[in-house]
Chain A
Amino acid sequence: MYGKKVKLRILFLALILSSVILIVFLVLQSLKENVVYFQSPSEIKSLIELDKKKIRVGGMVKEKSILINSNEVNFIITDFKNEINVIYSGAVPNLFAEGKGVVAEGFLKDKNYFKATKILAKHDENYMPPEVKEAIGDK
């Protein structure tokens, strides 16, 4: 009887341990796949190799750069050192405007073109995402 109990307990522990290991592995794996990195236009310019993964680009929308047609919005994101062209088809947040901070999510086509899949909404006129603030840096 005693032996059985011990065996059961060992089995139980082994089960828990293996599932914990499995879960940790799973979580780390999908974290690696689904993390989106933030980059400024200057950082993109200095890239040696283009990343195929989804990234975020942030900075200011350059003055007089927004161009609209029926299915696309084109604009330029600048950090006052470098800039990048953005092509976007999708919903635009209300506070998206020239001379304002912006964060766009999407994929790099090359070092000058960024295909955005999402433009992030801000809630507040005065609020600037910390990433953008840092990207613009010593303006």
Chain B
Amino acid sequence: MLANQIGYYSLILGLLLSVLLCSVSIKNFYDSSKQINQKVLSLSFLQLIFVIVSFLSLILSFINSDFSNETVFNNSHTTKPLFYKISGTWGNHEGSLLLWLLVLTLFIFLFLIKSREQPKKYRILTLLFQQIIIIGFFLFVLLTSNPFNYLFPIPTEGLGLNPILQDPALAIHPPILYLGYVGTSIIFSSSLAAVTQNYVTKEWGYHVKKWVLVSWIFLTLGIMLGSIWAYYELGWGGFWFWDPVENVSLMPWLTLTALLHCIAVLERRAVLTSWVIILSITTFTLSMCGTFLVRSGILNSVHTFANDPARGIFILIFLFVLITLSLGIFFLFHKENNKNPNNFFWLSRETSILINNWFMMYFLSVVLIGTVYPIFLDVITSEKISVGPPFYQKLIVPFLIPFLLFMSLGPRLKWIKSKIENKNSLIITFIISVMLTFFILKNLTTDLLFYTVLVSAAFFLFFTTLKELFIKKFYNISQTVAHFGFSLLILSILFNSILSSEIITNIKIGEKYSYNKSEIFFKKTEERKESNFNAIIGHFEIKDQSGKIIELKPEIRFYNQPIIITSEADIKTTLLDDKFLAMNLVKGNEYFNIRYQVKSFMIWIWISVLLLSLGGLMSLFKKRYEK
């Protein structure tokens, strides 16, 4: 009860502080002082504290199962384990918005501390732009999605959290993803501030790159966590489904990755200024669009918590205001830097970066069209359609070939003007890649030519980056590690899709199912009781071609609150492949529907994404290349 009050009033105080903060910093902007006023810092800190208090009190209500709070009532239950009571705080619409707000205020405070060497006016303007976003979200939370609504009479039991969300990976997925998503807000604010101050320079590039990296690392990890969760929890055995909700997180990732590379160019050559600004604005807009699409109930998924049209309209208007504001500022204030004309020599590192940037923009438009087109068609003609994975695969995969080649060659070029060095060793590497690919794939695939070219390109990147790692050791190691991770990612995804196999069948207890020398034996079932669910555990013995026997024990869980049946796949992971078995109940029949998959190199997909993020992390702690 008390926690509720505290939480609610802290939010209001936080909003009031925003207004106060704006007026103080505007005054500070025009006065003659060289440094930012200490008061601004303290106020920003205080605002962060208020949001933290509000967030903590919501967590407290969840821990205490205080059902006088509507959010808790809707999303919690007394029998839920403590861990999921806490994670339930952000497993719903209201709480997750509070988390947005927390990250927004956290990032601006960190920005203020970390940017002491930057010009005063630039810092204040960044703060002001960020406060516009913060005020918007305060209003959004307070007006349309207050997490502290009272319920009277107080219910004795809550409705419970969707069991599919009761999972360790999904408990940390939202906070990590949000750090990435909302982290882009600070890039947005500081880009706008830099444009108004005509400060889009090498120094600015260096300084803002750290923020881009932070967002990028968290976004990468956040997407990976979601993907891991989908892999073992949804029982489909895949890691990416081109589901609109996944696409929505991939889009800002693409622009953020492009931005990261452009800023590296900006940092050294002070070119591409407009492009950097446009990418910053786009990235944040896409993050906001993602929130809009997911929260408004237009897209259907686990992420859609409530279909309240008022919320959708609010975000839409807010989004519209932000886009107009940012574009207005961009066109009014932005001046191309004439000192450094955009002369790009065709063979240079920045040209290759630029080319791959355009490829990424192409990937972005494919994903955007595939995601948005069904929505538009529904609104205009009320025809219901969906765009399937073949659309994305057909349009994206072929273009990965030049993309990978540029990625292999680009980093070996010099800035400004270059010629290809060590031509011979590159050619040898390329020939090795092609031969290796050919021998591996010879008997594996029907579309040999296409896959040979594609996999060769990936191997080429793999070998060139690997060589770089050994020869140059610490020169630009962050970039090499990240690119190596990317090549590994593409390779493992490709081999995963080429080599994986799947068996789906309906089977009774005691039955055996045989297929080309392998055998699935359904031994028995056993039951298990937990506080919030009962489970049927299936015991399976699987004999593979070589006669090796493994045991897998998938579960079917019957959650009591809310009443939902989920299936927990059992997965045996080795370095070579994952053996994945999920079982489903079909209508109290004696038949169980099972899905057995051998997923090759599954673990390498996760490892390579970790390597990607590691590359980002290394770059974050790298010293500047000159000075």
Contacts and interface: CB of A to CB of B under 8 A. Distances in A.
Contacts of A69: 506, 591
A36 B385 contact: yes
Contacts of A31: 369-370, 373, 387, 391
B385 A130 contact: no
Interface in B148-190: 162, 164
Interface string A90-128: 111111111000000000000000000000010111110
Most chain A CB inside 10 Å of its own CB: which residue of B235, B563, B593: B593
Nearest to A35: B385
Interface in B562-601: 562-567, 582, 584-587, 589, 591, 593, 595
A94 B300 contact: no
A13 interface: no
Interface residues of B, number: 46
| Chain A contact patch, size range | 35 or more
Contact of A37 (B385, B394, B563, B595): B385
Nearest to A90: B504
B234 interface: yes
A66 interface: yes
Q: For chain A, what secondary structure do more than half of its interface residues adopt (helix, strand, loop), or is it mixed?
A: loop
Contacts of B513: 70
A68 B366 contact: no
A73 B164 CA distance: 25
A121 B564 contact: no
A38 B384 contact: yes
Given A68-B586, A90-B504, A94-B235, A124 B162 contact: yes
Contacts of B386: 35-36, 38, 56
A42 interface: no
B390 interface: yes
Contact of B385 (A27, A38, A90, A126): A38
Given A38-B386, A73-B593, A129-B300, A66 B587 contact: yes
Contacts of B235: 91, 93-94, 121
Given A27-B365, A34-B391, A72-B506, 6 more contacts: A30-B394, A34-B390, A36-B386, A38-B386, A121-B236, A123-B162
Interface of A: 23, 26-27, 30-31, 33-38, 54, 56, 66, 68-73, 89-98, 121, 123-127, 129-131, 134
13 contacts: A27-B395, A31-B387, A66-B586, A66-B589, A69-B506, A90-B504, A91-B593, A92-B584, A92-B586, A93-B235, A95-B565, A97-B587, A124-B564
